[in-house]
C-alpha cells in the first residue's frame, strides 16, 4: 500500500510512511480497545505483541528467531549492492538496468521480516526504535555503507545482549524497553564521542582550527609590526614562545612571522600560476605550502618573487 501511494500519488516516501504507520497504528489501538471490551473473544496475549515478552520465550522460539535473523542477514548481504544503489539514486539504478520496483519490494519485505522477528522480543511498538536507532548511531562512525551495516549490526546485538542481561539482573524491569534504552544510550555515545561526527570531536576540530587561525593572524601581525589586541591571540603566541611577556617578539617569533609572510607572498604568485586549478581553492592560509605544491613549483614561485624584489630595487 505504501509503495502504491508513492507511485500513484504525489506523496513522497517519508510522508507515505508516516501516513500509513499512523493510520494503521491508530486502527490497531481502536481494535485492541474494542476486543478488550467485548464479552467474547480472547484478548489475552495482545499486549505481549505490542510490548514484547522476552521472559516467556522458549528455546525453540530463540532458535526460530536466530534462524530467521540469519536468513534476513543473508538476504541483506546478497542484495546490498542494488539496495544501496536504489537508496542513493533510484533514477540511476533504473537507467543501469536494475528493477527498482522489485528492489523496493525486497526492502519492504525485509523490514516486515525484521518486524515479525522482533515481535516476540520487544514488541511491535519498540521494534520500530530498533529498526532506526542502530543505523542512525552507526552513521556517526563511518561514511561507507558496508561499514555502517557492520557497525549497526554490532550496536543492535550489543543493545539486545546488554538489555537482556540488565533485565535478568533486575527482574522487575521489562526486557523490551530496557533493550531500546540501551540502544538509545549507545546512540547518545555515538552522538557525543564519534571521531567523525561526534559533538565533542566537531568542537575539538573547531577549537583547533580557531587556534591555528589566531596564531596565523598573530604571526602576520608581528611581520607587519601591527599591534595585537586580541587576548586569545596573545596567549597563544606566549604559549608557543613567539612573544615575551611584555609583547616583544622573540627570535623564533620573528622567524615564524617572516615565514608566514613569505608564504602569503608565495600564494599570491601561486594564484596567478594556478588560476584555473583546484589547488588554489584548497589554500586556507593554514596548510603547509609543501602539502599542496611540488618542490619545483615552490622554486619557480621563489624565483619570481626574487625577480620582483630586484625589479623594485632597481626602480627605486
Q: pLDDT at position 188, please?
A: 92
The pLDDT of 3-9, averaged and rounded, is: 69
Q: How far apart are the two ends of the chain, measured CA to CA in Å?
A: 83
Helix axes 199-223, 175-193, angle to 10 degrees: 10
Residue 315 has pLDDT above 50, yes or no: no
Sorting pLDDT into bands at 50, 70 and 90, what band is 311?
A: very low
Asked whether 297 and 273 are in contact (CB, 8 A), the reply is: yes
* 186: its cell numbers: 549507545
Confidence check: pLDDT of 281 > 70:
no
* Per-residue model confidence (pLDDT) at position 186: 92
Contact status, residue 114 vs residue 127, Cβ threshold 8 Å:
yes
Residues 116-122 have a mean pLDDT of 71
Q: Which residues pair with 249 in a beta bridge?
A: 243
Q: What is the dihedral of CA 113, 186, 160, 47, to 10 degrees?
A: -70
Return the residue matching grid coordinates 626574487. 306
Query: Average pLDDT in the 145-159 region?
Result: 87
Pseudo-torsion of CA 205, 207, 212, 214, nearest 10°? Answer: 160
C-alpha to C-alpha distance for 118 and 104, rounded to whole angstroms: 21
Residue 127 C-alpha cell reads as 521494534
- Going from N- to C-terminal start, the domains of the chain cover 1-44, 45-197, 200-309
Cell 609590526: give the residue.
225
pLDDT over 70 at 41, yes or no:
no
> What's residue 1's pLDDT?
63
Give the CA count within 13 Å in the CB-facing half-sphere of 268: 10
Task: Return the pLDDT at 68.
Answer: 80
- Average pLDDT taken over every residue of the chain: 77
Structure-model confidence comparison of residues 6 and 303, the more confident one: 303
Quick one: DSSP state of residue 274? T
Q: What is the pLDDT of residues 197-245, one digit of tens each?
A: 888 988 898 888 888 888 888 888 888 888 888 888 888 888 888 888 8
Residue-wise pLDDT tens digits, 53-87: 666 667 777 787 788 878 888 888 888 888 888 87
**Average pLDDT of the segment spanning 15-26:** 74
- pLDDT for 241-259, tens place per residue? 888 887 788 888 888 888 8
Portion of the chain with pLDDT greater than 70, in percent: 77
Find the mean pLDDT for residues 283-306: 71
In which band, very low, low, confident or very high, does the pLDDT at 169 lie, cut at 50, 70 and 90?
Answer: confident
Contacts 24+ apart (CB under 8 A), 165-174: 167/54, 167/55, 171/55, 174/51, 174/52
More confident residue, 292 or 145: 145
Instruction: Return the pLDDT at 233.
Output: 85
String of DSSP letters for 217-262: HHHHHHHTT-----HHHHHHHHHHTSB-TTS-B-HHHHHHHHHHHH
Q: State the SS3 of 120-141.
A: CCCHHHHHHHHHHHHHHHHHCC
Reported as a single tens digit per residue, the pLDDT across 128-151 is 788 888 888 998 888 888 888 888
C-alpha cell at 294: 611540488
- % of the chain residues with pLDDT over 90: 2
Give dist(CA 62, CA 262) in Å, integer. 70
Predicted pLDDT of residue 185: 92
pLDDT at 310 over 50: no
Tell me the residue ranges of DSSP E strands in the chain.
Answer: none
Mean pLDDT, to the nearest integer, of 34-47?
Answer: 61
Please enumerate in sequence order all residues whose Cβ is within 8 A of that of 140, keeping only pairs 6 or more positions apart, or say none.
Answer: 190, 191, 194, 196, 197, 198
Against a cut of 0.85, is the pTM above it?
A: no
Q: Is the pLDDT of residue 46 over 70?
A: no
**Burial bucket for residue 242 (CB in 10 Å: 0-12, 13-18, 19+):** buried
Amino acid at each position: 500500500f505504501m509503495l502504491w501511494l508513492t507511485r500513484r500519488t504525489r506523496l513522497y516516501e517519508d510522508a507515505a510512511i508516516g501516513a500509513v504507520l499512523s493510520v494503521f497504528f491508530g486502527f490497531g489501538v481502536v481494535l485492541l480497545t474494542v476486543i478488550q471490551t467485548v464479552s467474547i473473544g480472547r484478548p489475552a496475549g495482545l499486549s505481549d505483541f505490542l510490548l514484547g515478552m522476552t521472559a516467556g520465550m522458549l528455546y525453540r522460539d530463540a532458535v526460530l528467531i536466530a534462524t530467521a535473523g540469519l536468513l534476513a542477514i543473508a538476504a541483506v548481504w546478497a542484495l546490498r549492492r542494488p539496495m544501496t544503489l536504489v537508496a542513493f539514486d533510484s533514477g540511476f539504478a533504473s537507467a543501469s538496468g536494475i528493477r527498482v520496483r522489485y528492489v523496493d519490494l525486497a526492502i519492504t519485505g525485509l523490514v516486515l521480516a525484521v518486524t515479525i522477528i522482533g515481535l516476540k522480543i520487544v514488541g511491535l511498538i519498540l521494534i520500530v526504535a530498533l529498526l532506526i536507532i542502530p543505523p542512525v548511531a552507526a552513521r556517526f562512525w563511518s561514511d561507507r555503507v558496508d561499514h555502517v551495516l557492520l557497525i549497526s549490526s554490532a550496536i543492535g546485538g550489543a543493545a539486545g545482549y546488554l538489555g537482556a542481561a540488565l533485565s535478568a539482573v533486575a527482574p522487575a524491569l521489562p526486557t523490551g524497553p530496557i533493550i531500546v534504552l540501551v540502544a538509545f544510550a549507545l546512540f547518545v555515545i555515538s552522538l557525543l564521542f564519534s571521531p567523525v561526527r561526534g559533538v565533542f570531536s566537531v568542537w575539538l576540530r573547531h577549537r583547533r582550527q580557531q587556534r591555528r587561525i589566531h596564531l596565523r593572524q598573530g604571526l602576520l601581525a608581528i611581520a607587519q609590526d601591527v599591534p595585537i589586541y586580541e587576548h586569545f591571540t596573545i596567549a597563544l603566541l606566549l604559549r608557543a614562545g613567539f612573544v615575551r611577556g611584555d609583547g616583544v617578539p622573540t627570535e623564533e617569533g620573528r622567524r615564524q612571522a617572516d615565514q608566514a609572510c613569505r608564504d602569503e607572498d608565495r600564494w599570491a604568485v601561486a594564484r596567478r600560476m594556478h588560476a584555473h586549478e583546484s589547488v588554489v581553492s584548497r589554500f586556507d592560509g593554514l596548510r603547509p605550502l609543501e602539502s599542496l605544491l611540488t618542490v619545483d613549483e615552490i622554486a619557480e614561485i621563489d624565483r619570481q618573487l626574487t625577480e620582483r624584489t630586484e625589479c623594485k630595487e632597481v626602480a627605486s
